[in-house]
Chain A
Amino acid sequence: MGEGESYTALSVERIVREAGISRATFYVYFEDKSDLLRALAEDFIERLLGAAATWWTLPADATKPQLREAMRAIFEAYLPHKVVMAAVVEVASYDTRVSDVFGALLERTISEVAGHIATGQANGYVTPGIDPQRTAAWLTWMAERGLYQLVAPATPEAIERLLDGITDITWNTLYAGTR
């Protein structure tokens, strides 16, 4: 896929041949191609959420540069696996098993961000009056689509500017009013 092929067009035969394993070995571990993708996606999701935890465990007095570093950790977890994510988005449009995994990732992320907002509001370091759940949902969808559409194809210089952009939006929306 790194060479521009679509996951849908890849055959199991081709995958096992390129990987130097037998067809039988493949089917010992995976039901089919979607099952393989689901396993890859689950692994990827754990890494991504692990990196994102840097953000929602930031201390109450965190600075904008610290937020930027937390965002960088998310980018760095995402970029090496962007091909898996592209395959997930592609296959999720027609395979519910894969779209369910993807949906679960978004739900977990939204609930973590919502928890961070609610805790921050209770402790005075997140903008009061904004709806934790729905604000978290808008920001999470922004991150999901932006990583896929903007960050994945960007050059290193463009990635730095995109980091500035997502940091500015998150900082202004959540923290700036309280500092």
Chain B
Amino acid sequence: MPSVTRRSHGNRAKRRDEVRDRLLDVVQQLLAAGESYAEISVERLVSEAKLSRSTFYVYFEDKGDLLRAWFTQVIEELEDAAAGWWALDGAATYDDLRAALAEIVHAYRPHTALMAALYDISTYDVTAREEVGAMMGTNAAGLVRHIHRGQTEGWIDPELAAKETALWLMWMSERGLHQMVRGADDAEAELLITSYTDVIWHTLYAPARG
């Protein structure tokens, strides 16, 4: 019997993912057409996605819940991308750093519209705000560990206040991705990656390389 229960849980999760993806496709189309997430009603979403209202509420509490379900998945992609940066060490060159940061920017780019919607709702949706905050906390902690390791091993400027430097740089990354990379074409995105690399390289690594 437990296997049956498991399977039905599995089916429910699978169905929820399908419904989520279908709804998010609609959301992306509407956002691309210039609508704001706050103004899109659940009625509108389900009708465009050709689903029933009741189906929506089987899987999601509300519109915020739908966006948070998406975010849970995207966080993992972004954290995987950031891991390439954390793994750099004293042998890393400017080009290695640029490649690691490019991976983060490229992981983020397909999601800019939904990420913007999430920031919009997090001005009034407490749960969404907490999740954005938790993501920032995880990323900042990763960067703090990276800075400590580099300072211990002698390849990051020993004078930097690790925690505060990490916090400022994390918010720089977050706002830069949100405000500048969103809306940038491919060529502009490459220029932004270069200047992003310049700030990080000169702040963390250049002083320790003489």
Chain A positions within 8 Å of B, measured between CB atoms, are: 6, 8, 89-90, 93-94, 106, 127, 129-131, 134-135, 137-139, 141-142, 144-146, 149-150, 161-162, 164-166, 168-169, 172-174, 176-177
Contacts and interface: CB of A to CB of B under 8 A. Distances in A.
Contact of A169 (B119, B124, B165, B175): B165
Interface stretch (B49-57, B74-82, B198-206): B198-206
A165 B169 CA distance: 9
Contacts of B161: 161, 164-165, 168
Contact of A93 (B123, B157, B198): B123
Nearest to A147: B171
B176 A138 contact: yes
A93 B180 CA distance: 17
B151 interface: no
Interface string B162-199: 01110111011011100110000000000110111011
Instruction: Give 4 nearest A-B pairs by CB, closest first.
Output: A165-B164, A142-B172, A134-B195, A141-B175
A172 B36 contact: no
Contacts of B164: 161-162, 164-166
A145 B168 CA distance: 8
Contacts of A131: 191, 194-195, 198
A168 B160 contact: yes
Given A131-B195, A138-B195, A165-B161, 7 more contacts: A127-B202, A134-B191, A135-B199, A138-B172, A142-B168, A162-B168, A169-B203
A172 B203 contact: yes
A93 B178 CA distance: 13
Interface string B130-162: 000000000000000000000000000101110
A134 B120 contact: no
B207 interface: yes
Contacts of A141: 172, 175-176, 179-180
A172 B171 contact: no
Nearest to A163: B164
Contacts of B169: 142, 169
Nearest to B160: A168
A177 B175 contact: no
B40 interface: no
B127 to A, nearest CB: 16
Given A161-B164, A165-B161, A172 B172 contact: no
Contact of B167 (A130, A144, A146): A146
A166 B168 contact: yes
A169 B160 CA distance: 8
B92 interface: no
B38 interface: yes
B172 A145 contact: yes
Nearest to A149: B171
B203 to A, nearest CB: 4
A166 B164 CA distance: 8
A135 B199 CA distance: 7
Given A134-B191, A142-B168, A176 B175 contact: no
Contacts of A138: 172, 176, 180, 192, 195-196, 199
A177 B195 contact: no
A24 B196 CA distance: 51
Q: Which of B157, B169, B196, B199 neighbours the largest number of chain A CB atoms within 10 Å of its CB? A: B199
Contacts of A174: 202
